[in-house]
Amino acid sequence: MTAQSAGGQAVAAPADPSTLVPAPRPEDVSSPHAVTLALYDVISGDPGVKRDWNRFRSLFHPSALMIPTGKNAETGKIGARIMTPEDYVNLSGPNLEKNGFHEREVAYREDRYGNTAHIFTTYAARRTLSDPEPFMRGINSIQFFNDGKRWWVLSITWSAETPETPIPQEYMTSQK
């Protein structure tokens, strides 16, 4: 069995992808929503608080991608940046730990078919939990795969709310 890397090269798919990531907490990977809540938990913390990046890594399939989307403030062009979970740890991790970041779920919608699932999860982000208002809101689109043992994140694509793209009311309440 082969798969394609993000660069389009054929790579052999591991027989057991769990051998390539840290062991997860069983409760973290018991359902797509449990994985989603673990993601929010692991990236959240006050300024100066280290994150458990091995817990973060344990949630992702070895071939997973993370894709922030949005409008470039300088050029006005809408685009997407494709990165791996490790890229996220290296690029965003220091900022999260330095400045504080708490991302919390406002609402979610989950769909499943067979061994796949998708969640749209609306989030609100604050620097500290005591901040009265979020500095950012948006929606994460997360795709999952179940190998019969656990749920894996395959990809996360997200967009932050802007004046041009307010969050629709139907994504402000949960629906399973």
Q: Which pLDDT score, from 0 to 100, does residue 2 have?
A: 46
Once rounded to an integer, what is the mean pLDDT over residues 46-69? 97
Distant-in-sequence, close-in-space partners of 137: CB < 8 Å, separation ≥ 6: 106, 122, 123, 124, 125, 160, 161, 167
Residue 5 pLDDT class (50, 70, 90 cuts): low
Name the more confident of 119 and 14: 119
Once rounded to an integer, what is the mean pLDDT over residues 17-40? 93
Residue 1 pLDDT class (50, 70, 90 cuts): very low
- What are the structural domains, with CATH classification, of the chain? 29-167 (3.10.450.50)
Q: Say if pTM beats, i.e. exceeds, 0.85.
A: yes
Q: What angle do CA 126, 128, 134 make, to 5 degrees?
A: 20
CA distance 176 to 158: 20
Three-state SS string over the chain comes to CEEECCCCCEEECCCCHHHHCCCCCHHHHCCHHHHHHHHHHHHCECCCCCCCHHHHHHCEEEEEEEEEEEECCCCCCEEECCECHHHHHHHHHHHHHHHCEEEEEEEEEEEEECCEEEEEEEEEEECCCCCCCCCEEEEEEEEEEECCCCEEEEEEEEEECCCCCCCCHHHCCCEC
